[in-house]
Chain A
Amino acid sequence: MAKTRGMETQTAAQALTLSGLTKTFTGLGDTVHAVRGIDLSIPSGQIMALLGPNGAGKTTTVDMILGLSTPTAGEVEVLGLKPRQAVLGGRLSAVLQTGGLLRDLTVRETVTVIAAMHEVPERVNDVMERARLTGIAKRKIAKCSGGEQQRVKFALALLPNPDVLILDEPTAGMDVMARRDFWASMREDAGTGRTIIFATHYLEEAQSFAERTVLMRQGQIIADGATSELRTLISGRHVTATLPDAQAVAAAEASDSNVSIVERNGLRVQFSCQDSDRLAARLLGELGAFDLEISAPSLEDAFIQLTKDPS
């Protein structure tokens, strides 16, 4: 495809920009602040996970990115366009958590009818193959498993051959095997230069598939970085010990730039560090600490730590 240099720099810059994105639902008597001011830039070709517990505001954010709902404040720009224009131009597409399929249609009919609405009838066979639906083409949607239905939605999202693809909880309700299957077909599609943003509450999906992870809690972004960084952030060890006095605590903390205090309860202190063996030797030796425990924090721990409510 021949693109002008100008366009290339433009599209290569940012696939998606959110600025001050806010959504407030006002019901009868109560107000819900679903999204409280999100700023985010996603460069073209990046695969990003939007990670957070249920109710963090992921789906609300996705809805605004897709132009399905209007922000209370702030702006969304997709490839330099308004969301609706990007959708109509076939450049932005999504697997919707709340999107439904007609139960009485077959898999092929579903793909055919949505292809007609996108005005790309020639792509039906291609996307059915990519989403591995060819074998169940004649099956009614009502007879498809949850995983198969998600693959149908995935095929529908691929129809316009979008530059930006958004997946909202794409594996919700699938068993482990179906999830693995789904990501396998996703992986086949990745590397085509598509920008992929997926919302999930499964850590391992973010870990194994996304280059970048954005953590959300209560409508706000609380962490944003390369997924590998997020892992090194918690790749160290926790060493917990009871120390004889405050000087020893200060000395232990100063022993290495990697050592920091996670939690302190009187003289019982939890340190995080990279080299737990060395810290443990020092604590037990010259600092006279006792009751020493060494533990490895999981990504789950970090996640809980980062996403737990302040209350």
Chain B
Amino acid sequence: MNATYIRIEFTRHLRDGSNLLFALLLPAAMYLLFGTLPGYSAEEAGAGNVKFYIMVSMAAYGAAVSTVAIAGTVATETMQGWGRQIAMTRMPAASFVACKMFVATTVAGLSSALVFVLGASTGATVADGWIWPVSYLITLCGSLIFACYGIGVGMLFKSESALGLASGLLVFFAFFGNVFMPLSGLMLDIARFTPMYGFVALARYPLMRDVPEFTGMAPDALWIPVTNLVAWTVIFAIFAVAATRKAKARQ
């Protein structure tokens, strides 16, 4: 990995206002908005309180958006010829991908960490201390499947505005994936098939795992979110490979 390249990549993302807004500030703001409402947010939820539940949800959303934004730049930069410029240097292609992964994971990690810190300082609690780091790690690792989604969209449309659209679509996925607010009935049934459902359900699993059935907030059996996550990982991976092939063929 190349330290100078990583430093300049961070500078670029920090200078990019919309990136900063969607990846870092929006999830934090949404947590403050929904997570700290007096009324319900201090109520119990599973092993902790509703604040903790909302904190994990927003952190998951933030991590996914960050990953999409940065993974997407891999695609657009490759298509715009920056990849060829790099190919003329001593740096191997694997190192380019490693640098981007590092930047994506760091920004996703920062975005989630910001929400977790806000949560901790505004009264999100959970009975067992280990649930904090485990929820955080699931959030971070799970968000990586959205890298494939970002690369796919970037390769398909080759433009930065398409990436904006991809992030926007993620908001939609989040609503329909039971991320922002608890869904029920038919909506929830549909939600089980959407890409963010498995990811966020797993991130909340440590918190919600002991909620008894038939209480409305009970989690699905573990195999449902796991299947969802695996299925969407495969779908996004195929999408990324297909879009890359198509883009390379048109070159």
Interface residues, chain A, CB within 8 Å of chain B? 27, 66, 68, 87-88, 90, 93-94, 96, 98-102, 104-105, 109, 112-119, 121, 153, 156-157, 160
Contact = CB atoms under 8 A, between A and B. Distances in A.
B245 interface: no
Contacts of A102: 12, 77, 82
Nearest to B12: A104
A28 to B, nearest CB: 9
Contacts of B121: none
Contact of A99 (B5, B11, B85, B90): B85
B91 interface: yes
B81 interface: yes
B87 A68 contact: yes
A99 B84 contact: yes
Interface of B: 2-5, 8, 11-12, 15-16, 77, 80-82, 84-91, 249
24 contacts: A66-B88, A87-B89, A87-B90, A96-B85, A99-B85, A100-B77, A100-B80, A100-B82, A101-B82, A105-B8, A112-B8, A114-B85, A114-B89, A115-B4, A116-B3, A117-B5, A117-B91, A118-B89, A118-B90, A121-B4, A153-B85, A156-B85, A156-B88, A157-B88
B204 to A, nearest CB: 36
A101 B77 CA distance: 9
A136 B86 CA distance: 22
Nearest to B9: A113
Contacts of B77: 100, 102
A117 B5 CA distance: 8
Contact of A116 (B4, B15, B84): B4
A121 B249 CA distance: 35
A117 B86 CA distance: 8
Closest 8 pairs (CB-CB, A-B): A100-B81, A116-B4, A117-B89, A117-B91, A100-B80, A99-B85, A99-B81, A99-B84
Given A113-B8, A117-B86, 9 more contacts: A68-B87, A100-B81, A100-B84, A102-B82, A114-B89, A115-B4, A117-B91, A118-B91, A160-B90
A104 B15 contact: yes
Among B12, B16, B88, B249, max chain A CB count under 10 A is at B88
A94 B5 contact: no
A113 to B, nearest CB: 5
Nearest to B4: A116
A207 B60 CA distance: 62
Contacts of B87: 68, 87
A94 B8 contact: no
Nearest to B89: A117
Contact of A90 (B2, B15, B81, B90): B90
Contacts of B90: 87-88, 90, 117-119, 160
Contacts of A113: 4-5, 8
Given A112-B8, A121-B4, A98 B84 contact: yes
A1 B86 CA distance: 28
